Amino acid sequence: MLRNKRILITGGAGFIGSHIIESLIGENEITVIDTFSQNAVKYTDFEKNKNLRLVKGDVLDEKLLAQHAKDVDMVIHMAAIAGVANVIGHPSRTISVNLIGTYKVLEAFKKSGLERFVNFSTSEVYGPQADNVDEQSLTSQGPVGDPRWTYAVSKVAAEHLGYRYMQEFGLPFVSVRPFNVYGPRQVGGGAVKIFVEKAISSITLAKKIIEKAGSKSAITFKKDVKEDVLVRIPKIDKARRLLGYGPKVMLDEGLEKTVAWYKSGVGR
């Protein structure tokens, strides 16, 4: 566990960030820079913790980053445009935030003497076929004409940028690639979130609206035409060896906790 560290988390108000804060807030001072467009921290009991400072801002704001580039031991860079719907709807914004935003954060901290710069990437960098992949596996993206892959391209480019900063400037950079993360407080997109919400509602909302409106409209189901990842299986040997990492929550338990959180109505 980290102790007595000053940690800056970009995009820390999101789903994953909120859980990282929860695990570190007791022993460390944490500053979060976030636009709060997807705010999972508000569903926690540590939102007003004395060790937590919430700053509303954008990673494209160089002045804001410069203000917080001093007296920081570690940066956890999570700020990004994510989720297939968001990416397809805002592909240029995705490139701007994910790549240029990463560049601006790297620039702000390249001479700050950080102990570690942790970058959150994605399993999307492996393309549509991610079968038993590890850190040395080839990255692959889809066709340029499909905005679905804008996210993956921006993320793998940001990884290349970060590693070059490590080589040229000695910035202690490391990147992680989460695979289909899910659980309570998932306020953004995600396959499990979508399945859970649909299962809980059983599409009954549409039925209620038709009933209330006195309509005779039919409910139809259409196939999703977006290209998607076909296989997504990670190989975690390196994380086991270097970090002592191992899954602690099996799928059944994880799904039970996730379903219970959404059923509680807290995130609605």
> DSSP letters of 26-86?
TTSEEEEEE--SS--GGGSS-TT-TTEEEEE--TT-HHHHHHTSSS-SEEEE-----SHHH
State the pLDDT at residue 200: 67
Residue 68 has pLDDT above 60, yes or no: yes
Domain region containing 172 = 6-185+227-263
**Higher pLDDT pick, 96 / 191:** 96
The residue to which tokens 């999703």 are assigned? 224
State the pLDDT at residue 128: 84
- The answer to whether position 268 is within a domain reads no
Residue 130 has pLDDT above 70, yes or no: yes
- The answer to whether position 155 is within a domain reads yes
The residue to which tokens 């700053």 are assigned? 55
CB 43 within 8 A of CB 266: yes
In this structure, what CATH number is given to the domain that contains residue 86?
3.40.50.720
Write down the H helix ranges in the chain: 15-24, 62-67, 84-89, 91-95, 101-109, 150-169, 191-201, 204-213, 237-243, 251-263
Chain centroid offset of residue 115 CA: 22
State the pLDDT at residue 95: 95
- The answer to whether position 47 is within a domain reads yes
- The answer to whether position 15 is within a domain reads yes
Residue 225 has pLDDT above 60, yes or no: no
The residue to which tokens 């701007």 are assigned? 96
**Higher pLDDT pick, 197 / 110:** 110
Mean pLDDT of 207-233: 71
- The answer to whether position 200 is within a domain reads no
**Confidence label for 94 from pLDDT (cuts 50, 70 and 90):** very high
**Confidence label for 241 from pLDDT (cuts 50, 70 and 90):** very high
Instruction: State the catalytic residue, choosing from 43, 103, 126, 151.
Output: 151
DSSP string, 174-188: EEE---S---TT--S
Least confident of 39-48, 222-231, 257-266: 222-231
State the pLDDT at residue 265: 75
State the pLDDT at residue 212: 66
Mean pLDDT of 240-247: 92
Mean pLDDT of 53-74: 95
- The answer to whether position 221 is within a domain reads no
- The answer to whether position 72 is within a domain reads yes
- The answer to whether position 124 is within a domain reads yes
**DSSP class of residue 123?**
G
Distance CA 188, CA 234 (A): 22
Crossing angle for the helix pair 150-169 and 101-109, to the nearest 10 degrees? 20
Q: Tally the domains of the chain.
A: 1
pTM exceeds 0.75, yes or no: yes
**Confidence label for 186 from pLDDT (cuts 50, 70 and 90):** confident
Would you call 231 helix, strand, or coil by DSSP? strand
Q: For residue 165, indicate whether it is catalytic.
A: no
State the pLDDT at residue 33: 98
**Confidence label for 92 from pLDDT (cuts 50, 70 and 90):** very high
The residue to which tokens 């209330």 are assigned? 212
